[in-house]
């Protein structure tokens, strides 16, 4: 039985133009209002595309969601691109993706402008002071959620521990991801050939992070760094922090850890895809041109990968060997999230007020599943109150 992909097809030019306008308006609205991260974005898309408008069946929606988990890049953005392609062909692919990305990119650019101009003022510092501990908690929750689905066996738990050790020792994030994937694939093949449990081996140590002197800022290098990240990053927006830290803080020395956390905070307090954190980074480093270069660089691979993966990824996923490699990549992404949250915590949680912000935030997020947007707002308000109280004491 052929699964339904879309409930209506638009063959004529007028209908195609109507579909493009509908896509643009709906995805722009979602990009402007979808707070809370990829899980919330995808839930809102399911409500709009499947339940309300019946543009596709729920089964088809789940197929596309599975496909986004098998390719690198921002999952919710890739879902928007998939839906655009189904609804209005290749023009729809571009219109849907751009419409979903644009609102967040514009808002983050405005925040970056304010940050560059006013970031040293006490009022701005107070807000960021309260938001940073919440960001650490949100990244930790992302790791917990990924762990529940990624760690499927004792072997994968062990592989994840090896990947975490490698990340903690400073191995390049790309090496951690693909090293874990390669080792998982090798172990699967050995088990298949020998028909017995294989030894764990060691995580391949290729692509180790190298210490290098600071490099002068370059728009072309920024674009290539973001392009590489967008084309290789599995695990969603929170793993992005690990890649940005490795390239822009540790290797190129263009950012400080404080600036990186501020960029992540900006991505959290705005709706839309979390990958617009790169937009903030680009503006801080190179102004408007830097923001444009970083945004195009990090999102461009998503358009290309969605365009070519539709018919290919479901076939690959049915291969046990490919499935094993993807399982290894997933636990590698989990290890990177844990490592980077631990590394950045010392910059965000610096005194007892930040501990007081972080601990209740963790309880509200993990136990009561409070929307992260409310936590970010609460953290900003608490930070402002702390600075106000300290000013009164002085």
CA distances from 121 to 49, 107, 280 (A): 43, 20, 18
Buried b (16+ CB within 10 A) or exposed e, 304-321: ebbeebbeebeebeeeee
Please tell me the predicted confidence (pLDDT) of residue 13.
63
CA distances from 108 to 105, 113, 155, 283, 338 (A): 5, 9, 41, 9, 25
Q: What confidence tier does 57 reach under pLDDT thresholds 50, 70, 90?
A: confident
Residue 385, C-beta contacts closer than 8 angstroms, at least 6 positions apart: none
* Dist. CA 158–CA 170, nearest whole Å: 19
Q: Which of 125, 103, 70 is nearest to 312 (CA)?
A: 70
Please tell me the predicted confidence (pLDDT) of residue 228.
95
Average pLDDT over residues 156-183: 88
Angle at 146 between CA 43 and CA 173, to 5 degrees: 120
Please tell me the predicted confidence (pLDDT) of residue 299.
97
In this structure, what token pair is assigned to residue 299? 């999102």
Which single residue is written with the structure tokens 């509200």? 364
**Segment of 13-17, 67-71, 114-118 carrying the highest mean pLDDT:** 114-118
CA distances from 275 to 66, 115, 169, 233 (A): 20, 18, 26, 11
Share of the chain above pLDDT 70, in %: 86
Please tell me the predicted confidence (pLDDT) of residue 159.
92
Q: What confidence tier does 219 reach under pLDDT thresholds 50, 70, 90?
A: very high
Please tell me the predicted confidence (pLDDT) of residue 224.
96
Whether residue 205 has pLDDT greater than 60: no
Q: What confidence tier does 51 reach under pLDDT thresholds 50, 70, 90?
A: confident
Distance in Å from the first CA to the final CA of the chain: 74
Please tell me the predicted confidence (pLDDT) of residue 122.
67
Average pLDDT over residues 329-357: 85
Q: What confidence tier does 281 reach under pLDDT thresholds 50, 70, 90?
A: very high
Integer-rounded Cα radius of gyration of the chain: 21
Q: What confidence tier does 231 reach under pLDDT thresholds 50, 70, 90?
A: very high
Please tell me the predicted confidence (pLDDT) of residue 4.
46
- State pLDDT tens for residues 252-279: 999 999 899 889 888 877 888 889 999 9
- State pLDDT tens for residues 91-109: 999 999 999 999 999 999 9
Helix locations, the chain, DSSP H = 13-33, 38-45, 58-69, 75-118, 122-150, 154-168, 173-194, 219-232, 237-244, 257-269, 277-309, 313-317, 320-348, 352-366, 372-393
Q: What confidence tier does 203 reach under pLDDT thresholds 50, 70, 90?
A: very low
Please tell me the predicted confidence (pLDDT) of residue 326.
77
Whether residue 195 has pLDDT greater than 60: no
Please tell me the predicted confidence (pLDDT) of residue 345.
87
Residue pair 239/147 in contact by the 8 Å Cβ criterion = no
Q: What confidence tier does 33 reach under pLDDT thresholds 50, 70, 90?
A: confident
Please tell me the predicted confidence (pLDDT) of residue 204.
46
Q: How many CB atoms lie within 10 A of CB 246?
A: 24
Q: What confidence tier does 32 reach under pLDDT thresholds 50, 70, 90?
A: confident
Residue pair 275/264 in contact by the 8 Å Cβ criterion = no
Residue pair 111/283 in contact by the 8 Å Cβ criterion = no
More confident of the two residues 309 and 381: 381
Q: What confidence tier does 380 reach under pLDDT thresholds 50, 70, 90?
A: confident
What DSSP character marks residue 276? G
Average pLDDT over residues 143-155: 82
Please tell me the predicted confidence (pLDDT) of residue 255.
94
Average pLDDT over residues 45-63: 82
Angle at 239 between CA 236 and CA 242, to 5 degrees: 155
What single string gives the DSSP state of each residue in 302-345?
Answer: HHHHHHHHTTTHHHHHTSHHHHHHHHHHHHHHHHHHHHHHHHHH
Mean pLDDT, rounded, of the chain: 83
Please say whether the dihedral angle defined by the alpha carbons of residues 155, 156, 158 and 159, taken in this order, is positive or negative.
positive
């Amino acid at each position: 039985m052929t699964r339904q992909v879309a409930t209506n097809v638009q063959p004529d030019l007028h209908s195609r133009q109507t579909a493009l306008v509908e896509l643009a308006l709906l995805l722009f609205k979602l990009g402007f209002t979808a707070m809370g991260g990829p899980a919330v974005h995808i839930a809102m898309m399911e409500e709009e595309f499947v339940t309300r408008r019946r543009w596709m069946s729920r089964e088809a929606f789940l197929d596309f969601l599975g496909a986004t988990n098998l390719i690198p890049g921002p999952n919710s953005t890739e879902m928007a691109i998939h839906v655009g392609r189904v609804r209005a062909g290749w023009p729809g692919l571009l219109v849907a993706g751009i419409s979903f990305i644009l609102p967040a990119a514009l808002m983050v650019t405005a925040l970056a402008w304010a940050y560059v101009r006013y970031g040293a003022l006490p009022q701005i510092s107070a807000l960021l002071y309260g938001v940073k501990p919440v960001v650490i908690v949100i990244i930790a929750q992302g790791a917990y959620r990924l762990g529940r689905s990624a760690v499927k066996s004792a072997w994968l738990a062990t592989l994840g521990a090896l990947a975490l050790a490698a990340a903690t020792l400073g191995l390049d994030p790309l090496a951690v991801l693909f090293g874990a994937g390669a080792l998982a694939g090798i172990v699967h093949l050995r088990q298949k050939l020998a028909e017995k449990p294989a030894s764990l081996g060691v995580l391949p140590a290729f692509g180790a992070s190298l210490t290098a002197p600071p490099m002068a800022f370059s728009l072309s290098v920024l674009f290539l760094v973001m392009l590489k990240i967008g084309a290789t990053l599995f695990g969603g927006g929170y793993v992005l922090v690990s890649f940005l830290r490795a390239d822009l803080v540790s290797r190129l020395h263009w950012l400080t850890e404080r600036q990186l956390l501020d960029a992540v905070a900006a991505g959290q307090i705005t709706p839309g895809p979390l990958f617009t954190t790169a937009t903030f980074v680009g503006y801080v480093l190179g102004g408007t041109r830097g923001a444009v270069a970083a945004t195009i660089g990090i999102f461009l691979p998503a358009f290309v990968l969605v365009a070519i993966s539709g018919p290919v990824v479901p076939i690959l996923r049915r291969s046990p060997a490919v499935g094993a490699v993807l399982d290894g990549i997933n636990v590698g992404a989990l290890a990177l999230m844990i490592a980077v949250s631990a590394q950045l915590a010392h910059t965000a949680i610096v005194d007892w007020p930040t501990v007081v912000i972080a601990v209740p935030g963790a309880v509200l997020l993990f136990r009561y599943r409070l929307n992260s947007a409310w936590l970010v707002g609460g953290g900003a308000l608490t930070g402002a109150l702390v600075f106000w109280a300290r000013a009164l004491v002085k």
